Structure 1
Amino acid sequence: MTASSDTVSVIGGLYITIGVIGFLCNGATVFMIIMKRVFRLSAYTIMANVALADAIMMIVAGIACGMGILWSDSNCNIIDANGISMENISSKNMTSTTYAFLSLSYKTGTNCSFLSFCLAFFEIAAWTAGVVSYAYLGLNRCVAICFYGTKAKTFNRVTVALIASVSTWIIGIAAACVGTFPAPLVGNRTEMWSVSFLSTEGKRPGK
């Protein structure tokens, strides 16, 4: 059953609204930590990095997905390996087409290829950086509570926190390169109204 245009508009609007709110909240967190001297501690430095990663994720998973839902009919129609647009495929053939999409045996129009790569790259980079930042933050708090009287307290310096934050983005960008080239492993699933990892069926796409 195809969703009505009103339903699509509501869902797309919700995605964009949540994305904007999330971006503003996380952006405000980053801004306050940077601007206020009282927040210039190692833990807050890592928290700012987490908020930065979350802000980027909200742009991709919220705003970009919402826009993709609202304008999916006029932009980026998915084309299968036979050159047939999914827009022209009947519902009874949707299952086989979906399998083709999940196995990455598809291609997008020239105008959408760059957007697909950007979506995958920034989502993977931000998600990875955020997860690694949480790991650093956990170590930071454990040292502060249990090991601050030992040499381990060196880990809780602001300089170390800055280096750790930069390293999260190096790791995130490296993961994004692996997950984006030669073909993106993350796509905008318009039929599911979400961003998700795509099944490779045990094969590296692009080979």
Structure 2
Amino acid sequence: MNAVALTEVVRRFCEGLLKLVYLNLLWFLFSLIGLGIFGVVPATVALCKVQKSWLEETHITSVFYEYWRQFKRHFIQSNLLAIVLMLIGSIIYFDLKFFMEQDGIVSQIISVIIFILSVWFMITVLYIFPIYVSYRLKLIAYIKYAFIIAMLNPFKTIGMAISTWGMVYLSFYFSQILLSMGISLSFFMIMIISLQAIDQVGILQQKLAKSG
């Protein structure tokens, strides 16, 4: 690799890091604008929308304006989706806790079943944002599609879970990473893997439609 090519690689790498840092700052800013609890989900949707445009090489004139536009556009619906997910997660959590505290073989079997459901639920949540920014569906349909795509792509799902856990672990122990690019880099990895999974499912659907 000659000096010119190496310089270009370094330039693109630094440019990518700066973009991730900028998105991370926007995520914190818009989460605060939405009063924290109501801002986190639409801020994450806006972040994923911008990253999807980058991955698809769609030109964005102003990242800030696009972020603000997506934040406003999806504020209500994304929060409604978050409420549905929180309700489902709460039901699973309290049911699991209840049956784990009970004695008897039946309670233990039910606990195992609910635990498996909880794992499926957490896997589904990983795909929710990529599915949300890729399709226009009803609230429950987002959850269904996320589950189906996760199950059809087990290796990508495992890779996504490992990379996400790794970033969460690093961000927990090194606050500098969290504040600089922890959020944006985590979702960038999620978007890369999940969009590949979504494309593969789309290709499979086309093949099935032709064969049918």
Q: What TM-score does the superposition give when structure 1 sets the normalisation length?
A: 0.31
Instruction: State which structure, 1 or 2, has the greater radius of gyration over its C-alpha atoms.
Output: 1
Q: Identify, as 1 or 2, the structure richer in strand.
A: 1
Q: Identify, as 1 or 2, the structure richer in helix.
A: 2
Q: What TM-score does the superposition give when structure 2 sets the normalisation length?
A: 0.30
